Chain A
Amino acid sequence: MIPITFDYRRASSLDDALKALAASGGSAKLLAGGHSLVPLMKLRLSEPGTLIDIARIPELSGIRDKGGQIEIGATTVHHAVATSRLLLDRCPVVAEAAATIGDTQVRNRGTIGGSMAHADPSADMPAVMVALDAEIQMQSAKGQRTVKAGTFFQDLFTVDLQPGEIITAVRFAPVKTAAYVKLYQKASHYAIVGIAAVLDVKGGTIQSARIGLTGATTHAVRLTKLEQALAGAAKDSVEKIAANAGAELQVVNSDIHASEEYRRAMVGVIAKRAVLAALARG
């Protein structure tokens, strides 16, 4: 539980961080909350030559209204997200998901940008961002780049983030009728299955749905068949529609906490609960 020797550099601004990142020639890693990176370093599974600490860069932190959309700075900690008045009022699913991450200590240090960049297959926030069709904003020496969450998450711990790029924020259109529900394992509190349901509801009927899934697959994905089946559905048909939601997945994770069969079955159960919880916010 002791990392190899590394250098530490605290960046004072985004520009400063970008320059340090470019200068490292690929040997540097960004440090924000460190709650994913540092444990890996202590196990010597990650051995960066330099840590560039971006946690104290003022422009990277904060939750703001940007012309009707909500933007969350990359180094905003989960606790700030979980308790944000703006989010609780206009897009409670994000706060709700943040409140279920790890424990108090993790939420006080871990950041939303870190959660995106690390892309743990069981992390909560990727499912929510995928379901909200959020944009991930990145900055490099070459300029800004934005990708949709749905294409940002590519594989196990693999995202569309190029060397030299720093995630600066996530941005999404707020939706009230959305909810996040997870079944979690008791050691890490990571999701065995986590579902974010984002609904467009009119007159008690679901007009359209976006369903994000974490925990069951290599990376956060949308359940597109379920989304299609839910379009036009009334509340009392949700259970039947969601029941078999796991069937659309090709490959489902299996580990000591839950087998593939169980996870697949739980996708349906948790999807139903998430959709009903979202409807209850309508």
Chain B
Amino acid sequence: MASSPTLPKLVGSRVKRREDPRLIQGHGTYVDDVKIPGLQYLAFKRSDIAHGRIKSIDTSAAEKMEGVEAVFTGKQIAELLRPMPIGTPFPSPDHHAVAIDMVRYAGEAVAVVVAADRYIARDAADSIVIDYDSLPAVVDAEQAMQGQPTVIHEKFPNNIALGPIPSGTGASPDGKHLDDSAVEKAFKDAEVVISQRMYNHRLVPNAMEPRGVVAHYEPGRSFLTMWSSTQNPHILKSMIAGMLGLGEDQVRAIAPEVGGGFGAKINIYAEEYVCAAVSKRLGIPVKWIEDRSEAFVATTHGRDILCYIDVAAKRDGKVLGIKMRLIADIGAYNMLLTAAIPTLTMLMANATYDIPAIRTTLTEVFTNKTPTDAYRGAGRPEATFFVERAFDMLARELKMDPAEIRRKNFIPKDKFPYQTQMGAVYDSGDYEASLDCALKAADWKNLLKERDELRQQGKLAGVGLAMYVEVCGIGPSATLPTGGWEHAQVTIERDGRISASTGASPHGQGNETTFGQMLADQFGVPIEHITIHHGDTAVVKQGIGTFGSRSQAVGGAALHMAGTKVRTKMAQFAGALLEAAPEDIVFESGKIMVKGAPAKAKSFAEVASFAYIPVPLPAGMEPGLSADAYFEPTNNTYPFGCHIVLMEIDRETGEPKLRRVVAADDAGNLINPLIVEGQIHGGLAQGIGQAMIEEAVYSEDGQLLTGSFMDYALPRATDFPMFEMHSTYTPTPVNPLGAKGVGEAGTLGSTPAVVCAAVDALSEFGVKHIDMMLRPEKLWRIIQGRGGAA
């Protein structure tokens, strides 16, 4: 190695994403870029009605079409695949990958075509004629709970999928023993009670890259290779193997470049099982690429939780207790994590506050809509929204400053780890520091003055503030059916370069950069000498995947452990070469030396080479420099923050416009502040997007009316002012990095902050709460005194 300059420490610095040059120059390889000789294309015929009995399916025209290889109905697919498994322990109706006799939402697959190209496949699917007995549809959860006008699954009366299950103060973890006395006392002692029905509406995740699958079963090898746009190739591998009757050694799953997931690519989908089963059945490789119209209805949706909340408080603002009755509209079926997501809303009902008594109950309800599952934040934004809006209402009722009412109720920083009423143990926190950071950044007093000046000019202006805490770094193995660890492997190559692999499967998180930074510091080598492998189960031997803001906090910790093992061994080799004790060896700027003796340094590559050609082999050592590690966290992490916005509403049109967005986020120690800001930036856009412009709207007969980007608004840069981002740093004791995770944080505080600002702006009309999204017409009606809100 040439004499290298002194290398700066990279952990904690704003290293630009190593992934970006290839992605923005079109050199990324996505699923649709995968080409295999003999590849055939698969298309789905989907139900265009929301609920009905299939009377007949006529596939004869499709079968006759030139270029069509095969056509499968649901009945034929059921010969290859049993009903799909779910990842939660709750009861669930049979869910066939392709519908057999009933369809339960518009977009459900009813037949499969395999053809020579995508065009023929589409034409053939379109030519399939299905005769339905249409049944009434239900798209409203509260209506569905009455069993009216239809029951979607026979074995689930009144469309109740789960519950009501209680949680919180006086409830045993299994929900069997319930003591309401503490909650009842809180409400008996209350001097003021706030009660409100709030709806956290349904969203469509909309990753930039829709889903896609290539399945290649090689009969000669009895081996299946799957490419899928997924967040967790290892889980995919296990579940595909299980469903196809293959061993896990006979399946390789590859997540190549993945163009976003937002939680919707955690689920293992019907299309993945069908492609695998069809490839195995026909003995040919098949490809399915979801188009955008399909993605709107066939990829899981997010949110859609209704809450009846009551808050009991003293007139000085001290909150005594909370009751939350949650009703989750989960759509037509249980998917992998569907049933678990709303339980996270219960888990986080304690928010950032020291509340002595909380009772939540959760009911999950089937409707004739696309199933829900994880979506960025997954249950925690809903909890944050309900509690923060209720706190804001309480502040308004008591004429208190919204910041002060929160300060009065915070869990104090000396009470961590903090056992919540909901069964969580918050790892670390300093909520007051976060609030103060945001207040200072926003210049709170002057912000209120600015609002008041706008009002004096006749404008409708409002300020909104919200705290959040979320559960990340998921999690201990007890909390996930797959196990909650993560795996990493680090190899020093013979030439002194480093190959590492991680079971985290990034789809925008930038782990090639952050993990490269960590290893560069650990070994004192340039980041350019490090390659991070991920997303291929043949290369990455084990893994769980990327979701729940876990890749840095869990995957990064595993990498750190593996790196430490290799470093220790490399120090032993260096010690043998330099005739020194391994503990006196230091790694610096491409060199390995005895501390304080740089003149006798060996280059990193020399020591690496020695490890593979160890002549003589130091006593008691094996050749080679490679180690793997599994990190099992002892707890989740609980990052937190405070978001503040200033909004103006056009008095004549009702159009809301944000003038300022200030965010103070605490994700513990940061490996790369630039990437953290990028994550928060995107999260803010999605959180504000939900409040202001994003909404999945269904017609009464179960058609998704916002089924394209003509009607479903994705946030664009022009929809926002510049985001002002700030940080506090409260490390977690849960992992050796002190990093908490940040992928979802932006979506938590921003949504209620925006709605709080709208309510503040319209306070002169006596409005107390506004359900999202903030359509101009909805706000205009309030201004006109025509209601539309509570």
A187 lies within 8 A of B711 (CB): yes
- For A44, the chain B residues whose CB sits under 8 A away are 126
Residues on B facing A (Cβ under 8 Å): 118-119, 122-123, 126, 291-294, 652-653, 655, 692-693, 697, 705-706, 709-714, 716, 719, 775-777, 780-781
B293 lies within 8 A of A186 (CB): no
B713 lies within 8 A of A2 (CB): no
Bound together, the chains give a CA A256 to CA B775 distance in angstroms of: 10
Cross-interface CB contact of A188 among B118, B126, B652, B711, cutoff 8 Å:
B711
Cross-interface CB contact of B119 among A5, A186, A188, A266, cutoff 8 Å:
A5
B713 lies within 8 A of A4 (CB): no
B651: nearest residue on chain A (CB-CB)? Answer: A269
B713 lies within 8 A of A187 (CB): yes
Bound together, the chains give a CA A266 to CA B710 distance in angstroms of: 21
A247 at the interface (CB under 8 A from B): no
B706: nearest residue on chain A (CB-CB)? Answer: A256
For chain A, give the interface size range.
20 to 34
- For B293, the chain A residues whose CB sits under 8 A away are 1, 43
A262 lies within 8 A of B780 (CB): yes
Bound together, the chains give a CA A256 to CA B705 distance in angstroms of: 8
A265: nearest residue on chain B (CB-CB)? Answer: B780
Give chain A's interface secondary structure class.
loop
- For A257, the chain B residues whose CB sits under 8 A away are 711, 775, 777
Bound together, the chains give a CA A1 to CA B777 distance in angstroms of: 32
If the complex has contacts A1-B293, A188-B709, A256-B697, are A183 and B119 also in contact, measured as CB distance less than 8 A? no
- For A256, the chain B residues whose CB sits under 8 A away are 697, 705-706, 711
Counting chain A CB atoms within 10 Å of each CB, the highest count among B293, B652, B705 belongs to B652
How close is A18's CB to chain B, nearest CB, in angstroms? 30
B123 lies within 8 A of A259 (CB): no
- For B705, the chain A residues whose CB sits under 8 A away are 256
- For A1, the chain B residues whose CB sits under 8 A away are 291-294
Beyond A1-B292, A2-B122, A257-B775, 17 additional pairs, beta carbon < 8 A: A2-B118, A185-B711, A187-B706, A187-B709, A187-B710, A188-B709, A188-B710, A256-B706, A256-B711, A257-B711, A258-B777, A259-B777, A262-B776, A262-B777, A262-B780, A262-B781, A266-B653
- For B776, the chain A residues whose CB sits under 8 A away are 183, 258, 262
20 contacts between A and B (CB under 8 A): A1-B291, A1-B293, A2-B291, A5-B123, A44-B126, A103-B716, A185-B711, A186-B719, A187-B693, A187-B711, A188-B709, A190-B710, A256-B697, A256-B711, A257-B711, A262-B776, A265-B780, A266-B653, A269-B653, A270-B653
**Which residues of A166-203 are within 8 A (CB) of B?**
183, 185-188, 190
Residues on A facing B (Cβ under 8 Å): 1-2, 4-5, 43-44, 103, 183, 185-188, 190, 256-259, 262, 265-266, 269-270
- For B118, the chain A residues whose CB sits under 8 A away are 2
A270: nearest residue on chain B (CB-CB)? Answer: B653
Bound together, the chains give a CA A270 to CA B650 distance in angstroms of: 12
How close is A254's CB to chain B, nearest CB, in angstroms? 11
A183 lies within 8 A of B711 (CB): no
Cross-interface CB contact of B655 among A2, A103, A183, A188, cutoff 8 Å:
A183
How close is A241's CB to chain B, nearest CB, in angstroms? 15
A186 lies within 8 A of B693 (CB): yes
A4 lies within 8 A of B123 (CB): yes
- For B123, the chain A residues whose CB sits under 8 A away are 4-5
Bound together, the chains give a CA A270 to CA B292 distance in angstroms of: 34
- For B716, the chain A residues whose CB sits under 8 A away are 103
How close is A258's CB to chain B, nearest CB, in angstroms? 5
If the complex has contacts A183-B776, A256-B697, A258-B777, are A269 and B709 also in contact, measured as CB distance less than 8 A? no
